[in-house]
């Protein structure tokens, strides 16, 4: 099958490396507007399956040409590109996978799903680490209980880069700044509510070697998706570890209005303040090999089992140094790319037969977890009475 990896940053190239070993993949096109990382990756891997193409994924004409005759496209470009790429993929009859939600609007989500069904294609959105692996673990953990009432997802990271106090190791800086400067979504009393950004600081004890880290609620896909598929929930939220220096910087950016995504006039030039901040941050791919520490994803599901209150805790972790040694990535980038690759494999191999637009909660959780373990990424879990 012919696969296109659209977006060749720190996550996309991990996904591409994992898919390049699949017996079902006959050719793998690495497409990006900047091809330096893709060219270096091709030289390192040396596979004849790999082709590098300079493509602007936001250009409709270039995108249509790229996806013509494609069997599957994996979109790892920044959030906001998903809808255009998905519609182009459906029109080309290509299956689709991405790492962040293709549309937060339930109405638009339904329209996109109908377009995919009519085209006879399978599209799975939000399939990275979180969202992605986190959603699957939530469904898996809930299945261990007789009933579930709460789901809490924690993303912890001790990553540090010498000389860099303000950086992001995995995703688009634009997406990061947006997530940390808009109101945080929480699911309470069976409905979505919002709290101020970076408002509720807590200390969560992650498994060693991470240990206790400050975490904050932010807006995230799981808060909206998990309650739709884990029935009976009364609470759900997502929390991410952020150090004090980063939080102080983001708060100042918000106070100055530099988080704005609308165009402002600067001496005759129209610019988005958010883009200016993002442009000054280092690209995650340029920091590969410099990040030290670990990342850990924890999912806790509270409910009842055997008539007693109980909690299922499932988690997985990775080392930044090990991820660089194996994939020239970092731990977070590796887990995002791994989640996407596992989903792509499931689509290619027929584990996901349903047509339309799907989310990770609709994937077979045990098959997904089994594929993670075969790739060497173990899921740990424990059940405790409360």
Q: Which is nearest to 384 in space by CA: 299, 305, 297?
A: 305
pLDDT surpassing 70 at residue 284: no
Do both 355 and 275 map to the same domain?
Answer: no
Is the pLDDT reported for residue 361 higher than 90? yes
Q: What CATH number does residue 90 fall under?
A: 3.40.50.720
* Predicted pLDDT at 165: 61
Decide if pLDDT at 167 tops 70: no
Q: pLDDT tens across 144-157, in order?
A: 999 999 999 999 99
Q: Tell me the C-alpha distance between 203 and 162, whole Å.
A: 24
Q: Do 359 and 250 belong together in one domain?
A: no
| Cβ pair 225, 299 in contact under 8 A | no
Q: What is the pLDDT of residues 114-131, one digit of tens each?
A: 999 999 999 999 999 999
Contacts of 154 (CB under 8 A, 6+ apart): 204, 206, 215, 239, 240, 241, 296, 297, 298, 299, 300
Q: Rounded to whole angstroms, how far apart are CA atoms 18 and 83?
A: 25
Q: Is the pLDDT of residue 170 over 60?
A: no
| Chain segment 196-221, per-residue pLDDT in tens | 988 889 999 999 999 999 999 999 99
Q: Kindly tell me if the per-residue pLDDT of 358 is higher than 90.
A: yes
DSSP at 125? -
Q: b vs e for 268-284, b when ≥16 Cβ sit within 10 Å of the residue's Cβ?
A: eeeebbbeebbeebebb
Give phi and psi for 22, each to the nearest 5: -75, 135
Provide the pLDDT for residue 161: 73
For residue 151, what is the enclosing H or E element? strand 147-157
- Helices (H), strands (E): how many in the chain? 13, 18
Q: Give me the pLDDT at residue 141, please.
A: 97
Do 125 and 139 lie in one domain? The reply is no
Report the mean per-residue pLDDT for the chain: 91
199: closest CA among 216, 182, 181, 212? 216
The pLDDT of residue 272 is above 90:
no
CA–CA separation, 137 vs 52, rounded Å?
34
Within this chain, do residues 82 and 165 fall inside the same structural domain, yes or no?
no
- Burial class of residue 367 (count of CB atoms within 10 Å of its CB; 0-12, 13-18, 19+): middle
Both structure tokens of 182: 């808009």
Residues 296 and 343 in one domain: no
Our count of domains for the chain comes to 2
pLDDT, tens digit (0-9, with 9 covering 90-100), for 297-340: 999 999 999 999 999 999 999 999 999 999 988 999 999 999 99
Q: Is the pLDDT higher at 235 or at 281?
A: 235
Same domain, 188 and 302: yes
Do 83 and 195 fall within a single domain?
Answer: no
pLDDT tens profile 3-33: 999 999 889 999 999 999 999 999 999 999 9
**pLDDT confidence of residue 163:** 64
Q: How confident is the model at residue 254 (pLDDT cuts 50, 70, 90)?
A: confident
* Residue 321 domain boundaries: 133-328+376-385
Answer yes or no: do 184 and 46 share one domain. no
Q: pLDDT tens digits for 94-114? A: 999 999 888 777 888 999 999
Question: Residues 49-104: pLDDT tens digits?
Answer: 999 999 999 999 999 999 999 999 999 987 778 899 999 999 999 999 999 888 77
Tokens linked to 232: 């009976």
Q: Measuring CA to CA, which residue among 37, 40, 15 is closest to residue 28?
A: 15
In terms of domains, do 285 and 349 share one?
no
The CA distances from residue 363 to 133, 320, 358, 369, in Å, are 11, 28, 8, 10
Q: Are residues 300 and 363 in the same domain?
A: no
- Does residue 177 have a pLDDT over 90? no
Identify the CATH number of the domain in which residue 208 sits.
3.30.360.10
Q: Which residues contact 375 (CB under 8 A, 6 or more apart)?
A: 18, 338, 341, 342
Q: What is the pLDDT of residue 255?
A: 85
Given this model, what pLDDT does residue 91 score?
A: 94
Give the global pTM: 0.92
Looking at the fold, whether 315 and 263 belong to one and the same domain comes out as yes
Number of CB atoms found within 10 A of residue 95's CB: 25
pLDDT at 376: 93
Residues 245 and 194 in one domain: yes
- Contact indicator for 237, 186 with CB cutoff of 8 Å: yes
């Amino acid at each position: 099958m012919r696969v296109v990896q659209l977006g060749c940053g720190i996550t996309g190239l991990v996904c591409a490396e994992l898919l390049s070993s699949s017996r079902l993949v006959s050719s793998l096109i690495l497409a990006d507007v900047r091809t330096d990382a893709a060219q270096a990756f091709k030289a390192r891997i040396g596979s004849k399956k790999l082709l590098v193409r300079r493509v602007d994924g936001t250009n409709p004409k270039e995108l249509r040409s790229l996806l013509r005759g494609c069997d599957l496209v994996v979109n790892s470009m920044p959030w906001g590109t998903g809808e255009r790429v998905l519609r182009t993929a459906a029109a080309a009859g290509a299956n689709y996978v991405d790492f962040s939600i293709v549309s937060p609007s339930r109405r638009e989500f339904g329209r996109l799903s109908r377009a995919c069904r009519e085209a006879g294609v399978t599209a799975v959105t939000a399939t990275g680490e979180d969202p992605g692996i986190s959603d699957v673990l939530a469904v898996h953990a809930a299945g261990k209980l007789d009933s579930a009432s709460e789901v809490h997802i924690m993303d912890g990271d001790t990553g540090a880069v010498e000389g860099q106090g303000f950086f992001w190791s995995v995703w688009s800086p634009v997406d990061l700044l947006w997530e940390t400067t808009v109101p945080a979504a929480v699911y309470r009393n069976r409905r979505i509510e919002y709290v101020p950004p970076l408002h509720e600081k807590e200390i969560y004890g992650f498994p060693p070697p991470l240990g206790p880290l400050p975490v904050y609620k932010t807006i995230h896909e799981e808060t909206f998706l998990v309650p739709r598929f884990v029935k009976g929930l009364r609470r759900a939220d997502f929390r991410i570890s952020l150090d004090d220096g980063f939080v102080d910087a983001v708060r100042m950016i918000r106070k100055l209005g530099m988080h704005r995504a609308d165009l402002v006039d600067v001496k005759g030039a129209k610019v988005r303040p958010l883009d200016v901040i993002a442009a000054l941050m280092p690209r995650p791919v340029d920091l590969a090999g410099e990040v030290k520490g670990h990342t850990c994803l924890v999912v806790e599901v509270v409910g009842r089992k055997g008539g007693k209150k109980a909690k299922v805790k499932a988690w997985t972790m990775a080392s930044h140094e090990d991820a660089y040694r194996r994939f020239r990535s970092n731990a977070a980038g590796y887990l995002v790319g791994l989640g996407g690759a596992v989903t792509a494999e499931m689509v290619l191999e027929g584990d996901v037969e349903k047509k339309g637009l799907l989310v990770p909660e609709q994937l077979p959780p045990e098959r997904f977890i089994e594929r993670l373990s075969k790739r060497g990424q173990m899921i740990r879990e424990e059940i405790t009475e409360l």
